[in-house]
């Protein structure tokens, strides 16, 4: 069941990728009534495998969340990561780059935020913003102060090709060094986004989640969809796949995310480390001393 769900949403070759092939309201054979119990079981199993990941210290897991506004990234992270050991997880929410970050290449701040071996890192937005928001709003590239010959104006479409190449090379390098990367796009419909925006406005306890800028960005919906499609086509690989997760039904989104995370960890066939014989002998010596106390 886990593999079937993972396979359904996984993109490993983006050549023919299109959002038209993915239903934002898909829930499969699951139902909302059982969702809490299903999710609780998935989190329990993930917590067990997380301990093996931490103990073995051979791999790190990087989980990337990308989505349009109100797709549910924050709540998805909260619900799918709850129950895991906080010592083994770290969450980074990327905002507009700082002056220091603009003085480095666009991958620098993301490389600094990578998880150590044995840990799970969650990136709420990621290095992909550099081929998404900057593509929809290319005027933002001026803040990077790139050499003129490497600017968008000078390079045209070649500029974006090189950015995709940089991202593919970055992720490939991480993979060859034990970083397992899961890239999630939470696929929400434009109608559902509108409903959630209105809910945030009408509910005083959710007002803080809403910004008038969100409505402004909504005007660029088609441009963002095109930018996402192209980014996924260019960067979906066998080693570093994308997963297109239906996001109109939050309860199903959380089940799908947790299922894929658990499936990915289980695929690593993790085991607790076995101590060398001399270490095991020292353990027995220590045990005898403790028993005699």
pLDDT of res. 98: 96
Closest CA to 53 of 5, 89, 78, 77: 89
Vertex 83: Cα angle to 118 and 261 (nearest 5):
55
pLDDT tens per residue, range 65-74: 999 999 999 9
pLDDT higher than 80, residue 1: no
Report the predicted TM-score, pTM, of the whole model to 2 decimal places: 0.94
Q: What sections of the chain are H helices per DSSP?
A: 2-9, 35-56, 73-81, 99-102, 108-112, 133-136, 152-155, 157-176, 190-202, 212-218, 221-235, 250-267, 277-292
Contacts of 223 (CB under 8 A, 6+ apart): 135, 136
Which residue in the block uniquely carries the two structure tokens 């069941």?
Answer: 1
Long-range contacts of 142-145, Cβ-Cβ distance < 8 Å, separation of 24 or more: 143/97, 143/102, 144/102, 144/106, 145/102
Task: Locate 237 and state its tokens.
Answer: 């690989």
225-282 tens-digit pLDDT: 999 999 999 999 999 999 999 999 999 999 999 999 999 999 999 999 888 889 988 9
Q: State pLDDT tens for residues 168-177.
A: 999 999 999 9
CATH code of the domain covering residue 192:
3.40.50.300
Q: How many domains does the chain have?
A: 1
Q: How confident is the model at residue 58 (pLDDT cuts 50, 70, 90)?
A: very high
Structure tokens given for 19: 């959002």
> Residue range 49-67: average pLDDT?
96
For position 2, what pLDDT does the model report?
Answer: 80
Tell me the CA distances in angstroms from 219 to 26, 41, 200, 268, one per residue in order.
25, 40, 18, 42
26 pLDDT more than 80: yes
Contacts of residue 217, defined as CB under 8 A and 6 or more positions apart, other chains included, come to: 69, 224
Interval 206-239: pLDDT, tens: 888 888 888 999 999 999 999 999 999 999 999 9
Nearest CA to 22 among 164, 224, 223, 185? 185
Domain that holds residue 149: 2-292
pLDDT of residue 205: 85
Distance CA 23, CA 20 (A): 8
Strands 10-11 and 242-246: antiparallel
Query: Which pLDDT score, from 0 to 100, does residue 85 have?
Result: 86
Q: Is the pLDDT of residue 189 over 80?
A: yes
d(CA 31, CA 143): 47
122 phi and psi angles, rounded to 5 deg: -115, 125
Q: Residue 164 pLDDT more than 80?
A: yes
List, for residues 78-137, the tens digit of each pLDDT value.
999 888 888 889 999 999 999 999 999 999 999 999 999 999 999 999 999 999 999 999
pLDDT at 181 over 90: yes
Residues with Cβ within 8 Å of 116's Cβ and at least 6 positions away in sequence, in order, are: 60
């Amino acid at each position: 069941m886990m593999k079937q769900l993972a396979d359904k949403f996984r993109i490993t070759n983006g050549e023919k990728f299109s959002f038209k092939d993915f239903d934002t309201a898909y829930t499969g054979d699951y139902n909302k009534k059982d969702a809490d119990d299903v999710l609780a079981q998935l989190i329990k199993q993930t917590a067990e495998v997380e301990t093996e990941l931490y103990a073995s210290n051979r791999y790190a897991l990087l989980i990337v969340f990308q989505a349009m506004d109100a797709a549910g990234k924050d709540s998805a992270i909260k619900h799918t990561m709850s129950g895991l050991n906080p010592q083994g997880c770290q969450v980074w929410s990327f905002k507009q780059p700082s002056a220091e970050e603009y003085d480095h290449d666009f991958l620098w701040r993301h490389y600094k935020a990578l998880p150590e071996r044995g840990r799970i890192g969650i990136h709420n937005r990621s290095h992909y913003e550099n081929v998404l928001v900057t593509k929809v709003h290319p005027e933002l590239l001026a803040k990077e102060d790139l050499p003129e010959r490497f600017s968008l104006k000078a390079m045209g479409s070649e500029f974006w090709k090189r950015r995709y190449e940089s991202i593919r090379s970055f992720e490939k390098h991480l993979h060859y060094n034990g970083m397992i990367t899961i890239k999630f796009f939470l696929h929400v419909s434009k109608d559902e986004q509108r409903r959630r925006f209105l809910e945030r406005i009408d509910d005083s306890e959710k007002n803080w989640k809403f910004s008038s800028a969100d409505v402004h960005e909504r005007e660029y919906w088609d441009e963002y969809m095109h930018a996402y499609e192209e980014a996924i086509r260019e960067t979906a690989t066998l080693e570093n796949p994308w997963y297109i997760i239906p996001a109109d039904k939050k309860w199903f989104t959380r089940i799908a995310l947790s299922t894929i995370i658990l499936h990915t960890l289980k695929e690593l066939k993790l085991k607790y480390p076995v101590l060398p014989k001399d270490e095991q002998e020292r353990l027995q010596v220590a045990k005898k001393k403790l028993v005699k106390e």
